[in-house]
Amino acid sequence: MMLSKTNNFLQSHCLTTQTLPPKLHNHFRSGEGNVSSSIPIPRRSKQRNLRLRRASTGVKASFLTQIKKSTSVKVVITVLETVGGPLSHLGIEQGLDGLTDLLGRTLQVELVAAELDEKTGEEKVTPQYFARKSGEHKNEIYYESNFEIPHDFGVIGAIKLENEHRQEMFVKNIALDGLPSGIINIHCDSWIHSQHDSLEKRVFFSNTSYLPSQTPSGLRRLREKELVALQGDGEGERKNSDRIYDYDVYNDLGEPDTDIDLARPVLGGPEHPYPRRCRTGRPRTEEDPLSESKADDVYVPRDESFSQVKQATFQAKTVYSVVHALIPSLRTYATDPDQGFPYFSAIDNLFNEGVHLPDIPTTGFLGNIIPRLVRSISDASNSVLRFETPEFVDRDRLAWFRDAEFARQTLAGINPCAIQLVTEWPLKSNLDPDVYGPAESEISRELVEQDIRGFCTLEDAIKQKKLFVLDYHDLLLPYVGKVRELKGTTLYGSRTLFFLMPSGTLRPLAIELTRPKIGDKPHWNKVFTPSWEPTGIWLWRLAKSHVLAHDSGYHQLISHWLRTHCCVEPYIIATHRQLSAMHPIYRLLHPHLRYTMEINALARQALINANGIIESAFSPGKYSIELSSVAYDLLWQFDLQALPADLINRGLAVEDPSAPHGLKLVIEDYPYANDGLLIWSAIKDWVADYIPHYYPEASLIQSDTELQAWWTEIKTVGHGDKKDEPWWPELKTPDDLIGILTTIIWTASGHHAAVNFGQFDYGAYFPNRPTTARVPMPTEEPSLEEKKKFLERPEAFLLETFPSQLQATVVLTILDVLSNHSPDEEYIGGQIQPYWEDNKLIKAAFERFQGKLMEIEGIIDARNADWSLKNRSGAGVVPYELLKPFSGPGVTGKGVPNSISI
């Protein structure tokens, strides 16, 4: 979601195309945008006569007091038009702003000297001029001002802007002409509030990065003042124009005032530990004083929102259209929300014929916004929602049926970070046996050895690291009783056991489904295995569907939402609150933290909220996000978000200094790990090149007040429910900082890409990954009628287990949108940030990073062409491309964006 990097000026504009160099260099840093070096005032000057007139004597006395030198500089500010619909340019405010433009008082521009006045020790008097509208081109409007700057002003350290309009502006960049080096371009990409909303001027610092102790004297006060402004005071309701970053608990997911059944617990605190979100300060609900009321427009700090800028957040606008227009239309149009699919051919029709949409105003415009999904029908007034055939089905429409594919996707699908090594036998639970039944698994030695007898014994399999498990037993079992009280869904605790074959592929051995004692129903437990007789085959298929529903929920709630979106938001808040925009670590992290808060706010409105898409279509139902809180409490550690540490913790790798990346994989053909380690190492090398440039000594890290405050706030506030954990890394040395930053960048880029952009390919044909299981296994205390239904029409029983037609259609719609890359996506290593352009060492390091990522593209292509790697290539197999760094727009199943932008 990247704004255009080119600078479009009218050829007829004062700064002609001949004046502009082919590639403008960025020499300033926006408070929220980009940077460049401080600007020395040039030698070119002109003389000016200053006359002093004394009128009190009645005698005209005119004399030349002194000759001063000054420099003429032309400033052109580029503002982007915002998207507000056909009436956006009408109304009183727009008319007043037009008058302001006509009078030439649109933007007040003020230059700030980097150093204090040597004589007085005070900040130098700053030149202030108004910029007036001078032209426009496409969606860009230009404002121009001319400055006379004293020769002794020194280096320009910052620029201040004040918006005289009544409406906010999105400033793209500022260009200064009249300097010997040519035009200097200041890239901003930032909202400038109206002076009627706040009298505080916006500050844009120059490109030179400074640690707090190195800040030029003239900028110290501004640096501190900007941080205080961004932190706020924790009081009141936030306005849309605010730029304040503050923390709050997740207390806005429920709607108790609408329906008490829509009340949800507060996430964050001792009872339900959770990361913190951005505070909005909305009023509390009447029914629950702990919960925050809903709003049509959820606050995010202004520079985190790009939806009103053309081509800025294609994803956010599309998601908004889907969740606020398309999905409500589907729900309204559905005659029976619980109706399942009668035949598999009806599932195929989602991709062949589509779903007819109601002819109502809310769907009429969707074809323009999401043409991939909504197509108009020439002979009818309404439109059709038709899905593209996913590559997974296009290559092999029966792959979902096979055990080999079921196992392969644990290593190369969209949730490849849940499988674990089995290190002891029998498998055991940590739950209270008096409540949840026997701790030991029912998967027996005899059952396992029956399948692996030709290869090794059980002891040998464990010793040789050949047994693996998907273990959702302890996480889900406490919720089985609660979920089963909900209409139209069921739940088990589950364990799925796999054996590593000599071919390097996994073979499923057994699935264990468990129901704890519920009321007067006793504990129930059953182990299912692959079979060669009809009833056993269908029971195995049903058991797989339940496990896949568990895996889908774990993926969406924990691997995806919790570990990326949710846990990254505190990093974003702390970065803006504690690191100045001129801090080198802010500038390193900023590309990886953009756009996420707007997407997260939208998720709280329509995806993870009460009765939202997740609750209505995934197995845990109304307990979905509460379950993610349990996972955060039990499983999340910052140090384990580092890919190497995660692999070691799950038993999938061991440290080996002689191996690539210092790790030896237990499963050699593990596509997520193999490709992920390439991305991880490239990020770490780039960060390791960057950090010593600013921190040649450990003492500089320890004395960096902003950096230490940043890390402390992440640990004690943003993730405050985990503040006393012993696993938090220290921040004392460059190596400490490199590890912390690499982990944050990997989480926002590589990890998110691996679990997000394959969702449509693997989840659109939902028999491959059902999001919920609606009926229990037919062997769990069945009635005579249920048993008869299963024995006579097992296929119908399986279809009844799958999501309903409405659930499936809603999920397919959102998966398509979430898997999409925007046309202006910003990919990792794709483009150097303007503030590094003039630093030769940093620029060279980034170019090495960029080159390494391009090299990784080729390595991944070569791996996918190697037929010996059976988990990523072969007949009908979807190549593993989720961690290829770059991609075109659309649903491509590849590409690693800089940040969590969708």
Q: Which of 672, 673, 671, 675 is nearest to 870 (CA)?
A: 671
Work out the burial of residue 828: count CB atoms within 10 Å of its CB; fewer than 13 is exposed, 13-18 middle, 19 or more buried: buried
- Which residues belong to the active site? 560, 565, 752, 756, 902
Dihedral sign, CA of 19, 309, 592, 731? positive
Q: What is the pLDDT of residues 675-709, one digit of tens each?
A: 999 999 999 999 999 999 999 999 999 999 999 99
pLDDT tens by residue, 431-474? 999 999 999 999 999 999 999 988 999 999 999 999 999 999 99
Which pLDDT band, with edges at 50, 70 and 90, does 317 fall under?
Answer: low
Q: Between 619 and 637, whose confidence is greater?
A: 637
Q: Which three-class secondary structure string do you get for 325-371?
A: HHHHHHHHHCCCCCCCCCCHHHHHHHHHCCEECCCCHHHHCHHHHCC
pLDDT beyond 80 at 69: no
What lies within 8 Å, CB to CB, of 467 at 6+ separation is 421, 422, 448, 458, 461, 497, 498, 499, 500
Token pair recorded at residue 279: 């505070």
What pLDDT does 13 receive? 40
829-859: burial string, b at 16+ Cβ within 10 Å, e else: bbeebbbbbbbeebeebbeebbebbeebeee
What is the mean pLDDT of the segment spanning 95-115? 68
Closest to 625 measured CA to CA, from 323, 316, 272: 272
The H or E element containing residue 790 is helix 784-792
Find where tokens 């800028």 sit.
309
Instruction: Label each residue of 193-205 as H, E or C.
Output: CECCCCCCCEEEE
Cis before 283 (ω within 30): no
Output the CA torsion sign for 267, 273, 276, 277: negative
Residue 850 has pLDDT above 80, yes or no: yes
Dump the DSSP string for 692-717: HHH-SSHHHHHT-HHHHHHHHHIIII
Q: Which two tokens stand for residue 217?
A: 């004297």
Residue 361 pLDDT > 60: no
Q: Give the containing element (helix H, strand E) for 161.
A: strand 156-163
Mean pLDDT value across residues 834-846: 91
Output the CA angle 233-235-240, nearest 5 degrees.
95
Distance CA 614, CA 561 (A): 11
- CB of 803 closer than 8 Å to CB of 811: yes
Task: Classify burial at 651, counting beta carbons within 10 Å of its beta carbon; exposed 0-12, middle 13-18, buried 19 or more.
Answer: middle
Answer with the residue of higher pLDDT: 71 or 582: 582
pLDDT given at position 40: 43
HSE at residue 736, side-chain half, CA atoms within 13 A, is 17
Average pLDDT across the chain, whole number = 86
Residue 490 has pLDDT above 50, yes or no: yes
**Residue 519 CB: number of other CB atoms within 10 A?**
6
Q: Per-residue confidence at 241, pLDDT binned at 50, 70, 90?
A: confident
Q: How confident is the model at residue 374 (pLDDT cuts 50, 70, 90)?
A: low
Residues 257-296: tens digit of each pLDDT: 999 999 999 999 999 999 999 999 999 999 999 999 988 8
List 77's β-bridge partners, or say none.
143, 174
In the prediction, which pLDDT does 125 show?
A: 81
Q: At what angle do helices 584-593 and 567-578 cross, to 10 degrees?
A: 140
Report all structural domains of the chain as residue ranges with CATH numbers, in order of start.
46-208 (2.60.60.20), 245-403+558-902 (1.20.245.10), 417-530 (3.10.450.60)
**Distance between terminal CA atoms of the chain?**
9
Q: Which helix (H) or strand (E) holds 314?
A: helix 314-321
pLDDT in tens, 388-414: 999 999 999 999 999 999 999 999 999
Q: How many CB atoms lie within 10 A of CB 767?
A: 20
